């Protein structure tokens, strides 16, 4: 976390693209997409932009492994008397913290664009928690992937492919109502679709759909455990090699 805040340019770079999407794309599509969000398309796409921020932050977290390897600190860390799970958890939480910081920036900016959280303070807390578990899962996955690849160029290419695939096969920018066939199946099986839907209902709705919300939270808690275990196992394999 100290490294991240000593290099604030990394925070700026990951927030620029989502802000452009929120400000420019939201404004341009406002008139043609009014029926989706009661006249405020910015509020409609905000959950998707939040998810884009989260995915980008977690991807940059995995990139840190290559920086540490080039400087030798990664290998010194491996021989340190520290548990492997602590090493992984520390780096994952760094990506989660960055995601929450940038999400806060988006929320503040969106308020100037007339976006309001329909479910109030409870909704805000639930949005934060949904972003937390989404970032935790993705950061663990990114960490594991970074340890499987030989260099940062291949890692960046693969992560861009993963992030864009997740983003565009979700309901980040559009409603699923008029979609059918294989594309609809792809959107439904994308776990981030359901997080986006939950956040969107918390922003646009006035009541909380607890049954659906708890189902999504439960599913992501399982995914978080899986990605964390995978990341720890990959780190232990680095020690063997």
* Residue 205 token pair: 């709705």
Per-residue model confidence (pLDDT) at position 108:
86
Per-residue model confidence (pLDDT) at position 34:
52
Per-residue model confidence (pLDDT) at position 241:
58
Which stretches of 38-179 are DSSP H helices?
41-71, 73-78, 84-111, 120-148, 152-168
What's the domain range around 56? 2-240
The residues of the chain scoring below 50 in pLDDT are: 36-37
Q: How far apart are CA 173 and CA 59, in angstroms?
A: 21
DSSP, res 237: H
**Average pLDDT over all residues of the chain:** 85
- How many structural domains compose the chain? 1
Per-residue model confidence (pLDDT) at position 19:
77
């Amino acid at each position: 976390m100290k490294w991240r805040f000593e290099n604030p340019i990394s925070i700026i770079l990951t927030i620029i693209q989502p802000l452009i999407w929120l400000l420019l794309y939201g404004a341009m599509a406002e008139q043609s997409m009014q029926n989706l969000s009661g006249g405020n398309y910015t509020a409609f796409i905000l959950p998707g932009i939040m998810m884009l921020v989260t995915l980008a932050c977690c991807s940059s977290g995995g990139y840190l492994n290559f920086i540490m390897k080039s400087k030798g600190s990664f290998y010194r860390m491996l021989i340190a008397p520290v548990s492997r799970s602590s090493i992984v958890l520390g780096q994952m939480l760094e990506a989660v913290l960055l995601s929450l910081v940038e999400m806060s920036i988006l929320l503040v900016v969106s308020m100037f664009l007339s976006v309001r959280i329909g479910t109030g303070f409870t909704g805000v807390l639930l949005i934060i928690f949904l972003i937390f578990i989404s970032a935790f899962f993705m950061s663990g996955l990114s960490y594991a992937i970074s340890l499987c690849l030989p260099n940062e160029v291949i890692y960046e290419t693969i992560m861009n492919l993963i992030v864009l695939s997740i983003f565009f096969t979700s309901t980040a920018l559009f409603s699923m109502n008029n979609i059918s066939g294989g594309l609809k199946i792809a959107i439904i099986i994308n776990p981030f679709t359901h997080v986006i839907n939950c956040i969107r209902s918390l922003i646009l709705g006035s009541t909380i759909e607890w049954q659906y919300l708890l189902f999504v939270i439960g599913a992501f808690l399982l995914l978080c455990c899986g990605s964390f275990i995978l990341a720890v196992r990959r780190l232990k394999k680095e020690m063997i090699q």
